[in-house]
A = this chain, B = another copy of it.
Amino acid sequence: MTTQQLHQNILDKKSFLCIGLDVDLNKIPQHLLATEDPIFEFNKAIIDATHDLAVAYKPNTAFYEAYGLKGWLSLEKTINYINQKHPEIFTIADAKRGDIGNTSAMYAKAFFEDLNFDSVTVAPYMGKDSVEPFLAFKNKFTIMLALTSNAGAFDFQTKTVEGEELYKTVLKTSKDWENSENLMYVVGATKAEYFTEIRKIVPNSFLLVPGVGAQGGNLQDVCKYGMSDNVGLLINSSRGVIYASNGEDFAEKAREEALKIQQEMAAIL
């Protein structure tokens, strides 16, 4: 997918909602546990109920790895289902990977080629040669952590590095990397005031924004300070949508929550 296509999908659906598929067997409706693959059945129902309201889905790989081989199979089935049934959806492997060059190349192969995700999240700590192997893939996107939505973001990311916060150094430095046009960034919604500063550095990059809803962020504020000419935002909601109900009506209730967010987005657009 290209960013132009992503932008067009946002306009068509009047939505920049990303739904996080963080499936915890302790939280899904218990009747699904009797099925052969409860994680996939859950995802399939959520996708069927919300695909016209969302432009992206984001499975967090931790929730699949936690179930070993079975979990990995559920992840494969989920990404294949999205790619086959809803090819217009932008898919994000929320994996937060990053390693030395030859190893990052293996991760890139795993997520971009084998699983055929459109994008993968990566961590910046190991620098340029840990990220560039991901950037080498054409029409695939590497979403790098800049400023995250958790309390620990203040441990290092906002520390002053040679006159400015570390996350700004990360943003600026990454712009010089090869194929940096394939970069997007994770910016937490719990700190809407930071978006103004971030947009000075990356005016047009897409930002993946977790932390709206369950983590306390405000959609209006994020859009006010963070929206670019091509929208440039993917707002993620995970628990608030997928666990709206844990009864047999879970998919219907998930749609209701997604619809509320999509309508708020449509009004903003």
Contact = CB atoms under 8 A, between A and B. Distances in A.
A159 B130 CA distance: 17
B66 A156 contact: no
Interface string A87-102: 0000000101111110
Interface stretch (A1-9, A37-45, A104-112, A240-248): A104-112
Interface in A93-152: 94, 96-101, 103-104, 106-107, 109-110, 114-115, 123-131, 145, 148-152
A108 B159 CA distance: 27
Contact of A159 (B24, B98, B106, B162): B162
Given A96-B98, A101-B150, A125 B62 contact: no
A103 B115 CA distance: 21
A67 to B, nearest CB: 8
Given A150-B129, A153-B126, A99 B62 contact: yes
Nearest to A127: B152
Nearest to A132: B152
23 contacts: A60-B103, A60-B106, A62-B106, A62-B110, A63-B103, A66-B107, A68-B76, A68-B110, A69-B72, A96-B97, A96-B98, A96-B123, A126-B150, A126-B153, A127-B152, A127-B154, A129-B150, A130-B152, A156-B173, A159-B166, A160-B161, A160-B162, A161-B161
Instruction: Please give me the 7 A-B residue pairs with the lowest Cβ-Cβ distance, nearest first.
Output: A127-B152, A127-B155, A62-B106, A66-B106, A65-B110, A129-B152, A128-B152
Interface of A: 22, 24, 60, 62-63, 65-69, 72-73, 76, 94, 96-101, 103-104, 106-107, 109-110, 114-115, 123-131, 145, 148-157, 159-162, 166, 169-170, 173, 210
